[in-house]
Amino acid sequence: MYNNDSKILHNSGLYGKGILELPLSSLTEEYKSSKVRLEMMLTESRDPCIAGNAPTLATGRKWTPAAATHQAKSSLKHRDIVGHVQRGRGGLGLGESKPAWCKASPLQRRGLVVEEIRREEQAARCARAISQGKQGRWMCWEDVEKRKLSWKEIWDMEASRTSFLLRATYDVLPSPANLSQWYGEDPTCHLCSSPANLKHIMVGCKTSLAQGRYTWRHNQVLRCLAASLESRRMFVNSLPPLPSHPPPTGQFVREGEKQPRIRPPKTEPGQLAAARDWRLLVDLEQRLCFPAEIAMTNLRPDLVLWSASVRRVYIVELTVPWEDNLGEAFERKKLRYAELAADAEQQGWKAIVLPVEVGCRGFVGRSVTSLLKDMGIRGQAQRQSIKALARAAEKASQWLWIRRRDNTWAPR
């Protein structure tokens, strides 16, 4: 397996060259950061004996840890002078704050320098990816959660899975379009005879759509999402009931005394904590009928979660799109349910439409994280849910890829 994996990495031209921030960090990056960390540990030791006699670390000729450390330090000092700058669309003060170089402790400084080295490596990788029209498409993905597989996870994976994940991400799988480009073979789809690249096989084939292949994949992912929400729902519903009346406030207060402050009981995180009668419907085995008490409609969202006591309803719609089109899918679904939400509001319900996306190659959209967070699924549970969703999408897509030449369709 070991040999197999390195062969795949070699074949796809990725080995040692740096494999971007998606799915793996590069060997070069790990090598450089560990050397720099050691260099700083030795030369900046509190023991003068060690600091004075620090050995020159053995590396190649082009790159030395001493020079790299020096450069990283100067750019960190420069950043101190520039001060905090705004990045992205977040408001002022929303960006992550880092300790200033001049105020950092020796340990923090070491961390800052290593981070700077990683940042430089990543910038170099991005510059290379931008020049590659095809393999670098991931540069255009928006609203996708960062996904990082540790080397341990990679070694634990089956070889075929690693191979599929990497080659699908960089679009170097032997799809008809690629085979035509490489060897002059027939560039058409085996199912529908139109020109087929990876995107066509994964999300664009009419025959696949008619046969229900995409629906099957969608339902695999939906099942996973429903499981996370259902366990959360059960948990919240089983919590001790909320105080039915607001605590008495009409107590007699003597003149000159302050009214005692009533602290609200410690609440669960997330928006579900407001009620204990949540109900959940999922559009899987049986056709979902939108609860008539909320609104009358023919629309069938993937997931409806509602509570009659607080008159609130969450309408969740899942898409498994091509990673380039995450934002587009979000807007489309939001629009589709706008009218239904308005109807529900007229009936006195608070309706929240939550479109979520899990990319077909297993890259989870930010919308998913914010949904889980809103529902109070945080920390370890959140990470597990996201991993499971990514895995479900990736596994189903791999199955679709394997069956791309098979005209008959029968999901297992």
Residues that bind Zn ion (CB under 5 A): 189, 191-192, 205
CB of 214 to Zn ion, least distance (A): 12
d(CA 70, CA 66): 6
Integer angstrom CA distances of residue 274 from 133, 270, 314, 394: 49, 9, 13, 35
DSSP 8-state symbol, 368? H
User: Which residues 6+ apart lie within 8 Å of 28 measured at CB?
Assistant: 16, 17, 18, 121
Do the Cβ atoms of 361 and 323 come closer than 8 Å? yes
For helices 2-11 and 159-169, give the axis angle rounded to 10 degrees. Answer: 10
**Residues paired with residue 352 on neighbouring β-strands, in sequence order:** 314
DSSP 8-state symbol, 263? P
d(CA 379, CA 375): 12
Give the distance, in angstroms, between the CA of residue 368 and the centroid of all CA atoms in the same chain: 8
CB of 327 to Zn ion, least distance (A): 25
For Zn ion, give the closer residue by CB, 108 or 188.
Answer: 188
Residue corresponding to tokens 């993937």: 302
For Zn ion, give the closer residue by CB, 76 or 191.
Answer: 191
For Zn ion, give the closer residue by CB, 205 or 282.
Answer: 205
CB of 405 to Zn ion, least distance (A): 11
CB of 322 to Zn ion, least distance (A): 14
d(CA 141, CA 322): 10
CB of 181 to Zn ion, least distance (A): 18
For Zn ion, give the closer residue by CB, 147 or 403.
Answer: 403
For helices 65-82 and 106-130, give the axis angle rounded to 10 degrees. Answer: 90
User: Which residues 6+ apart lie within 8 Å of 74 measured at CB?
Assistant: none
CB of 404 to Zn ion, least distance (A): 9
For Zn ion, give the closer residue by CB, 192 or 288.
Answer: 192
For Zn ion, give the closer residue by CB, 191 or 358.
Answer: 191
For Zn ion, give the closer residue by CB, 205 or 320.
Answer: 205
Structure tokens at 181: 């480009």
For Zn ion, give the closer residue by CB, 66 or 192.
Answer: 192
For residue 73, the SS3 value is helix
CB of 160 to Zn ion, least distance (A): 23
CB of 17 to Zn ion, least distance (A): 33
